[in-house]
Structure 1
Amino acid sequence: MTAHATPAFIVPEITMATETNRPKRLSQSQWQALITEQQNGTATQSEFCRSKGLCLATFYNWKKKLNNSDKPAEQKAPEFIELPVASEPLPRQTWDIELELPGNVILRMRQ
C-alpha cells in the first residue's frame, strides 16, 4: 500500500478523511477561492489543477457554474403575435378522400 500525499492547498479541517480515505468535497466558496487563485496566477488551468491535485474537468465545471451564477438571469419579455380578426366567416371547406384497398374495395369520404 502506498501513502497518498495530501495536496498543499487542503487545510486540515477539509482533510477529515472518510472511510475511503478521500478528503471531503470542497464548498462553493472554496472552489471560488481556487478559481480566483488560478486566475490571478501565471499557471494554466491544467498546470494549476495538477499542482493542487484537482480534477481538471471538475475545475472547469465549477468555473462554469460559478461564472453563470454571477450573471443575473435574463428575463425575456413574452412575445405576442397579433392575430387578424376575421370580419367575415371563413368559407366552408370541402374535401374528398378516396382510398383504394386490396380486393378491389374503394372507400370514398366526402364532406
Structure 2
Amino acid sequence: MTETYGFEGATGFKTVGFRSNAPAGPTREQWQRLVDKQAASELTVSEFCAQHALTVSNFYLWRKKLSDDSQPFAQQDNWLAFDMPASGNQSIDSAWEIELVLPGGVVLRMNRAV
C-alpha cells in the first residue's frame, strides 16, 4: 500500500481508500493461455479457477472477450448487405425514408421530406 486517504462525508462516516502496488492481473496473452489450458483440462471452470486463484466471473468475461476478438468483423453472419442503385435522375434535395427495426421492439425511422 503506497497511500491512504480519507474524508468525512455528509453522513458523518469516514471513507478510506488506498492505492496498491500489486500487479494489475493477467495480461490478454496470459488469459488466452489460461482459457486454452482450462479447455484442454478435464476440470470444470469452477475447479480450474479455484486451482489458479481466479474468479469465475473474470474467467467467463475473458473467455467471451477472447472469443469475440477471434471472429473477424466482416465474417459475422448477422449482417445483411444490399446495393442501392445510383440514380442520375434524382436531385440532391430528393425525399427519402429509412426504417430500421431492432430487437426488443425498437424502431428507428429516418427521413428527409422535401
Q: Tell me which protein shows more strand as a share of its residues.
A: 2
With normalisation by structure 1, the TM-score equals 0.49
| Structure of higher CA gyration radius | 1
